[in-house]
């Protein structure tokens, strides 16, 4: 679904329980119930309540003006399939995706999986980090009640490392409210259980700033609650991915605090290389399911160095084969030995071992 916004068109996906709205030109977003009850400020007419900042080699880039150097749009917002929405930016040589998945599991279907993904399309390593900002509005309350597993929190707070909470709940009215009021919940981990390094709950004017680090002093009363998750910079190797996620949406999941989330359904499969070992060419089959996906592959030696890579390319659903002639990126013959073939499809990596013999 599309509707006009102050910048581009507002795109929406919903499953009857939760709806995500995103500006197709900026990627800023909001969320709420399909009936119109908001979980994030701006819903359903604008994306003012959610934005992303990416840190690349010490410089911050953002899709909100004034929060960093502007990101360059590479692929405007798209809805490739029901319950999935994406937008892509580039700051050479890093490509960045923001994705929204509505959850298929019955116990999680009131949640959206918000995913940020960076791809290093370069022969050199780069330092990359993420920050996700959300301005919650729960029902009619722009300053909702915040509760952790340990109880209600009335003052600004910050959690680092192992202190990061397993979940939080925001209530429109109170923790004892009845079902006529709204609530929303966040769960701060993704497919690889990569928790944020730093989560802050503070007031809008303390978090909505052009700062990579959180600089507020905890302990002040909430007057206009906002939250932000930050994932520290990692050294992103050549032709590799960095993926982070959180759940955000309405209602409680059925799992306990310590349980792990289930993975998204597998959307690609990697077959066995043939012949293997080989001395001329090897063919590696792979299948793409469900919807078109961005696919790339790397080959690593036993030291972890990338010796051969492919540029990302969009593949339609179907059966394919990657063929390798045993040469490196410079056309040089590689020595006999064991190599790792890694296929990336939709941001998920699968691997197979390949052996070169003379």
Rounded to an integer, what distance in angstroms lies between the CA atom of residue 233 and that of residue 128? Answer: 5
Residue that wins the pLDDT comparison between 142 and 1: 142
User: What is the spatial distance between Cα 55 and Cα 42, in angstroms, rounded to a whole number?
Assistant: 26
Prediction pTM value: 0.78
* pLDDT for position 347: 63
Q: Is the pLDDT of residue 268 over 90?
A: no
By the 8 A CB rule, do 24 and 11 touch? yes
Residue 207 belongs to what H/E stretch?
A: helix 204-207
Q: Which residue has the higher pLDDT, 117 or 194?
A: 117
Q: What is the mean pLDDT of residues 21-38?
A: 96
Within 13 Å, how many C-alpha atoms sit on residue 169's CB side?
20
Strand partners, 323: 283
Q: Band of the pLDDT at 58, cuts 50, 70, 90?
A: very high
Q: Which tens digit of pLDDT belongs to each residue from 204-226?
A: 999 999 999 999 999 999 999 99
Rounded distance between C-alpha atoms, residue 48 and residue 65, angstroms: 11
- Alpha carbon separation from 294 to 150, 233, 291, 316 (Å, rounded): 42, 24, 10, 9
Residue 205: which H helix or E strand, with range?
helix 204-207
Query: Considering the chain, what percentage of its residues have pLDDT values greater than 70?
Result: 90
Q: How many angstroms separate the CA atoms of 223 and 262, rounded?
A: 36
Beta bridge partners of 192: none
- Contact between 28 and 22 under an 8 Å Cβ cutoff? The reply is yes
Distance of CA 312 to the CA centre of its chain: 18
Domains and CATH numbers, the chain: 2-249 (2.70.98.40), 268-356 (2.60.40.4070)
pLDDT at 1 over 80: no
Average pLDDT (323-337) is 90
- What per-residue confidence (pLDDT) applies to 290? 80
User: What's the gap between Cα 26 and its chain centre?
Assistant: 16
Question: Of 173, 170, 128, nearest to 148 (Cα)?
Answer: 170
User: How far is residue 175's CA from residue 146's CA, in Å, rounded to a whole number?
Assistant: 9
Q: Tell me, what's the pLDDT at 344?
A: 81
């Amino acid at each position: 679904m599309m509707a006009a916004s102050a910048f581009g068109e507002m795109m929406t996906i919903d499953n009857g329980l939760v709806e995500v709205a995103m500006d197709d030109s900026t990627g800023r977003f909001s969320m709420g119930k399909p009936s119109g009850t908001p979980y994030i400020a701006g819903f359903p007419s604008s994306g003012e309540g959610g934005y992303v900042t990416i840190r690349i080699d010490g410089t911050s880039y953002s899709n909100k003006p004034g929060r960093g150097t502007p990101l360059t749009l590479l692929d405007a917002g798209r809805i490739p399939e029901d319950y999935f929405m994406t937008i892509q930016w580039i700051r050479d040589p890093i490509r960045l995706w923001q994705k929204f998945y509505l959850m298929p599991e019955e116990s999680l279907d009131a949640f959206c999986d918000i995913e940020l993904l960076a791809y290093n399309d370069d022969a050199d390593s780069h330092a990359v980090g993420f920050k996700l900002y959300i301005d919650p509005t729960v029902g009619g309350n722009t300053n909702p009640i915040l509760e952790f597993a340990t109880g209600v929190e009335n003052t600004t707070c910050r959690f680092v490392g192992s202190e990061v909470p397993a979940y939080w709940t925001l209530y429109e009215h109170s923790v004892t409210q009845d079902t006529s009021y709204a609530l929303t919940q966040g769960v701060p981990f993704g497919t690889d259980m990569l928790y944020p390094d730093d989560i802050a709950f503070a007031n809008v004017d303390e978090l909505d700033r052009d700062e990579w680090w959180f600089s507020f002093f905890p302990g002040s009363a909430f007057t206009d609650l906002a939250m932000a998750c930050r994932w520290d910079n990692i050294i992103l190797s050549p032709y590799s991915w960095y993926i982070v996620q959180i759940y955000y949406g309405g209602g409680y999941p059925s799992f306990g605090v310590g349980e792990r989330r289930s993975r998204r359904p597998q959307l690609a499969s990697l077959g066995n290389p043939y012949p293997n070992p080989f001395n001329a060419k090897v063919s590696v089959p792979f299948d793409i399911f469900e919807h078109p996906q961005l696919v790339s592959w790397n080959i690593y030696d036993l030291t972890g160095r990338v010796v051969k890579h492919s540029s990302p390319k969009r593949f339609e659903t179907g059966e394919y084969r990657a063929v390798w002639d045993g040469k490196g990126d410079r056309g040089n013959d590689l020595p006999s030995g064991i190599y790792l073939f890694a296929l990336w499809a939709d941001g998920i990596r699968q691997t197979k071992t390949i052996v070169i013999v003379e």
